[in-house]
């Protein structure tokens, strides 16, 4: 019999890519998505889709009462900057949703819970690869909600729910929402480049991040399904490499055949100067080995943006 997985957020960038891989691997996927930032057209064929809010308990009465082998909780408001517009909404959509899903997991005797955590839980850190065990000091309402979700997961451990938070760094690749100019560094810059041949960057070119390609992220989620040693853990998922904004822009504009102008001015609420991942724990626990070099990943994304997106 096919195994059933509940994936929240299958209309979004990461949730759709995970759902697609699960279906291709032979799983049956049910998804909840409120289509706030996702699009129905992104939902892979074969997903049993229910439109609704994860923070609204009524949705859990609507979805099928199957034996779920795992829940991948991916849905969420995913921008630190946007979390400053309405912190209460951010708390509901990120933290309260996690609480409801954990209650649902408990009710349905689903013992595996895998969460899309974030590097935004760390806050300002020294210029060295960040490890999972450092003190968490989030700088945005978004980061605070994600920390709260990790604590909720821990509180459900005594009830037999084995959770893992994959703390994602800057995920990019085909399928990323290019219409939202406040979410996703690569997609924001690439959208501006294609639209205006001009990129306006809020903040300095010396800031640095860890850009990890979507297929590598999906590999990590799939590996997590089978990894008992990841139970109860938070695990960094990045490339393990430091890339400055200036380097990213250079790689991106070098791939694009037209002339692009670049302007640096202003700043973004809650933005940190720099962060990149120590991925040794992911390598140890998930056998994680990110394969996609930034140039190749950007090239794939640019191809998709130019040819397949419309
Ligand atoms: N993209 C990244 O670089 C990144 C980095 C770290 C963490 N994450 C986390 O990964 C997850 C997915 O991010 P993404 O980049 O795919 O974003 P996305 O906006 O493309 O996808 C999020 C999906 O969740 C849905 N959604 C949002 N709130 C919901 C709610 N309350 N109930 C039901 N559906 C809801 C949206 O409609 C959308 O389809 C988020 O939880 C985000 O915090 C993303």
pLDDT tens, position by position, 289-301: 999 999 999 999 9
Mean pLDDT of 168-194: 92
Determine the Cα–Cα distance for residues 66 and 90; give it in Å rounded to an integer: 29
Residues β-bridged to residue 50:
32
142 is catalytic: yes
Of all protein residues, the one whose alpha carbon is nearest to atom 31 of ligand 1 is 93
Q: Give the integer Cα–Cα distance in Å for 76 and 9.
A: 7
Which residues, including other chains, have CB under 8 Å from residue 197's CB and lie 6 or more apart? 258, 259, 260, 261
pLDDT at 237: 98
**Is the shortest distance between the CB of 140 and ligand 1 below 6 Å?**
no
| Residue of minimum CA distance from atom 10 in ligand 1 | 116
**Pairwise CA distance, residues 304 & 282, whole Å:** 29
pLDDT-derived band at 309 (thresholds 50, 70, 90) equals low
Residue 266 pLDDT: 83
Distance (Å) from CA 145 to ligand 1 centroid: 13
Model pLDDT for residues 87-102, shown as the tens digit of each residue = 999 999 999 999 999 9
Q: What is the pLDDT of residues 5-56, one digit of tens each?
A: 999 999 999 999 999 999 999 999 999 999 999 999 999 999 999 999 999 9
Q: What is the pLDDT of residue 267?
A: 81
Hey, whose CA ends up nearest to atom 27 of ligand 1? 76
Kindly compute the dihedral angle of the four CA atoms of residues 280, 123, 198, 176, in this order, to the nearest 10 degrees: 60
pLDDT in tens, 183-241: 889 999 999 999 999 999 998 999 999 999 999 999 999 999 989 999 999 999 999 99
Whether the CB of 145 sits within 6 Å of ligand 1: no
Check residues 309 and 244 and name the one with the higher pLDDT: 244
By C-alpha distance, which of 167, 143, 117, 168 is closest to 270?
143
Ligand 1 site, residue 12, Cβ cutoff 6 A: yes
What number does the ligand 1 atom closest to the CA of 16 have? Answer: 16
Taking the centre of ligand 1 as the mean of its atom positions, its distance from the CA of residue 27, in whole angstroms, is 21
Q: Which are the contacts of 245, defined by CB distance < 8 A and separation ≥ 6?
A: 185, 201, 203, 204, 205, 206, 207, 208, 209
Q: Which of 142, 152, 172, 213 is catalytic?
A: 142
Distances (CA, A) of 243 to 116, 123, 214, 293, 294: 22, 18, 17, 12, 9
- Tell whether ligand 1 has an atom less than 6 A from the beta carbon of residue 116: yes
37 lines ligand 1 (CB under 6 A): yes
Q: Which atom of ligand 1 is nearest to the CA of 32?
A: 33
* Tens-digit pLDDT profile for residues 226-253: 899 999 999 999 999 999 999 999 999 9
Q: How far is the CA of 165 from the centre of ligand 1 (A)?
A: 14
Conformation bin of residue 240: beta by default, left when phi > 0, alpha when psi is -120 to 50: left
Ligand 1 atom nearest to CA at 52: 33
pLDDT digit string (tens) for 127-166?
999 999 999 999 999 999 999 999 999 999 999 999 999 9
Which pLDDT score, from 0 to 100, does residue 310 have?
53
HSE at residue 282, side-chain half, CA atoms within 13 A, is 29
Task: Tell me which residue has its CA closest to atom 42 in ligand 1.
Answer: 78
Tokens matching residue 172: 């990019």
Residue indicated by tokens 């205006």? 196
Q: Ligand 1 centroid vs 299 CA: distance in angstroms?
A: 23
Q: Whose CA is nearest to atom 28 of ligand 1?
A: 76
- Ligand 1 atom 24: the closest Cα is on which residue? 75
Is 123's pLDDT higher than 80?
yes
- Give the separation between CA 17 and CA 47, rounded to whole angstroms: 12
pLDDT confidence of residue 1:
81
pLDDT at 301: 97
């Amino acid at each position: 019999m096919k195994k059933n997985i509940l994936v929240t957020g299958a209309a979004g960038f990461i949730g759709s890519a995970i759902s697609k891989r699960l279906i291709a691997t032979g799983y049956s996927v049910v998804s909840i998505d409120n289509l706030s930032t996702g699009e129905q057209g992104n939902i892979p064929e074969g997903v049993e889709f229910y439109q609704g809010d994860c923070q609204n308990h009524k949705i859990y009465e609507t979805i099928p009462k199957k034996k779920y082998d795992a829940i991948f909780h991916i849905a969420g408001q995913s921008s630190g900057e946007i979390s400053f517009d309405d912190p209460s909404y951010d708390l509901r959509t990120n933290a309260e949703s996690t609480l409801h899903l954990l209650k649902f997991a408990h009710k349905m005797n689903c013992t595996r819970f895998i969460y899309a955590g974030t590097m935004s839980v760390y806050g300002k850190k020294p210029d060295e690869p960040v490890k999972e065990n450092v003190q968490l000091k989030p700088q945005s309402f978004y980061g605070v909600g994600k920390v709260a979700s990790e604590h909720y997961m821990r509180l459900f451990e005594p009830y037999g729910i084995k959770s893992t938070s994959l703390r994602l760094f800057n995920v990019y690749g085909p399928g990323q929402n290019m219409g939202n100019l406040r979410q996703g560094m690569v997609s924001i810059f690439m959208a501006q480049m294609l639209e205006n041949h001009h990129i306006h960057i809020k903040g300095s070119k010396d800031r640095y991040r860890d850009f990890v390609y979507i297929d590598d992220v999906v590999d990590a989620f799939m590996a997590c399904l089978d990894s008992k040693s990841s139970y109860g853990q938070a695990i960094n998922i990045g490339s393990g490499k430091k890339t400055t904004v200036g380097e990213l822009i250079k790689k991106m504009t070098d791939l694009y055949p037209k002339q692009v102008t670049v302007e640096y001015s202003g700043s973004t609420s809650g933005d940190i100067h720099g962060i990149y991942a120590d991925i040794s724990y992911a390598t140890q626990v998930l056998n994680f080995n990110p394969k996609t070099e930034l140039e190749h990943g950007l090239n794939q994304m640019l191809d998709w943006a130019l040819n397949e997106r419309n």
